[in-house]
Structure 1
């Protein structure tokens, strides 16, 4: 809450992906790779001394071995959480430091803390609580709350964005994109680029390398990859696993608390879903010309 760091997605020392516990293959799996140098080569090997089941019917995974189709992206070697919660923690920290553009975030969070501490318990006939914003946000309810508050904030900002757009159009500015680099004839022999956006679920990045006018390497690091990542070479767990540690359950046979916490991330696992043969071979390959 006290330190705000700048991020450069082009810096190979900042963003790296590890596959130590992922079903992928690197030449040196103790090291991470920056997405510009990324490799996505399947290596489906569900195994380990505690593994139970078969390759096609897994009963128990062994977390000391490879156990996930998700890679482990890290920022400066640290596991991080992305999404509305992280953005609201960052916004709140900026507001505390006096950033006027983030004051609305602090107002929303502080008002929500009052409601959760007082108004809601009172309506339910329960005693009041005394959670601070720092205690409230990094929780399952805080993560769910941040998603709702961010939607409210976006709706409030839309009218201002709309007015700016209308003003641009009236001034003759109808451009929808910067098209200076669209013509491949203007490209150098080799080029690379990265695009990032704060998507609803969290930080989304696409890294590309181009050679002779063709894509040489393309790597995506999507929000749920950050949040759902397995352990890395140092044994650091991702946000999903960290959020479940020490979670009390009313009925372990029906772990609704586990589902509730994972749902608060709004996970999307399409990018970690693969179709392989029982022996781990690709089922199909598509060539785009």
Structure 2
């Protein structure tokens, strides 16, 4: 990985941890879903359940009871803790691991601003991190492109690994995990195949991590935590709140579900 999967606990950069994916769980305590064994527990994505359970008010409405269920997002947690994903998390991971040039670059920009590294945990920090990582990737792509051209010149024109992606070679039962860093943050798809068919499929997306409701322990998501104690120049026009949430690059589609309660059959013809 260009960015090794990294977990930083309590903002202690010198004590970063390699990510252990067995520690990922999702809660629905305050989400419009229900679990077969109760809504106070967390489920690993391989065991995940997605059963709609809308208990909110009838629209139109102006208020949601946050003591109950109030979101279509589940609440992902790592080792029982809320975690932020995205540009800031990636820059901090590279900074903590000492990727050549990263610490010097980050420290240089913070020095120009007269700020300590703790200042990155902010609206400004997320925005700055997005620019810094763009610079890093642009330069890294030069090397990747050179490798691609060299491979093609040597006769390697493969576009995929047939040993991995040929369905006839797949086991009848298996569990798989697909990982990538989307611009908004860590994206993971978890699939359980049984008797050659998809038994369970769960996606844990960046906005789910950052914008989740509270979990069974009452822990807030990064969105909510970022607004605690936020100063407002004009409470009648709280633009600072919008700017802070925008710094996470939220995905509205990840938090919206449209469905009908009436059973409806949909037929699709495949050509």
TM-score normalised over the length of structure 2: 0.89
SS of the residue aligned with 2:180?
A: strand
Partner in structure 1 of residue 30 of structure 2: 21
State the Cα deviation string for residues 14-69 of structure 1 (Å, max 9, x = none): 011000000111121111111111111111112xxxxxxx4212211121111111
* Aligned CA-pair RMSD: 1.7
Q: How many residues align?
A: 256
1:249-268 pair list within 5 angstroms: 249-268=232-251
* C-alpha distance in structure 2 between counterparts of 1:60 and 1:282, whole Å: 26
C-alpha displacement of 1:174 = 1.6
Cα–Cα, structure 1 residues 181 and 94, in superposed 2: closer, same or farther, change >3 Å?
closer
TM-score normalised over the length of structure 1: 0.84
C-alpha displacement of 1:182 = 3.0
Q: Which runs of 5+ in 2 are unaligned?
A: 1-12
Partner in structure 1 of residue 14 of structure 2: 2
SS of the residue aligned with 2:165?
A: coil
Cα–Cα, structure 1 residues 26 and 150, in superposed 2: closer, same or farther, change >3 Å?
same
State the Cα deviation string for residues 59-106 of structure 1 (Å, max 9, x = none): 1112111111100000111100000101111111112xxxxxx13221
Residue of structure 2 aligned with 1:116, choices 110, 113, 122: 113
State the Cα deviation string for residues 240-273 of structure 1 (Å, max 9, x = none): 0000110000111111000000000011121221
C-alpha displacement of 1:282 = 6.0
SS of the residue aligned with 1:217?
A: strand
Partner in structure 2 of residue 72 of structure 1: 75
C-alpha displacement of 1:285 = 6.0
State the Cα deviation string for residues 82-136 of structure 1 (Å, max 9, x = none): 00101111111112xxxxxx1322122112112222xxxxxxxxxxxxx212x22
* C-alpha distance in structure 2 between counterparts of 1:148 and 1:282, whole Å: 47
SS of the residue aligned with 1:17?
A: strand
Q: Find the structure with the greater CA-based Rg.
A: 1
| Stretches (4+) displaced over 4 A | 282-289
Cα–Cα, structure 1 residues 20 and 159, in superposed 2: closer, same or farther, change >3 Å?
same
1:1-289 pair list within 5 angstroms: 1-9=13-21, 11=22, 14-27=23-36, 28-46=38-56, 54-95=57-98, 102-117=99-114, 131-133=115-117, 135-277=118-260, 281=261, 284=264
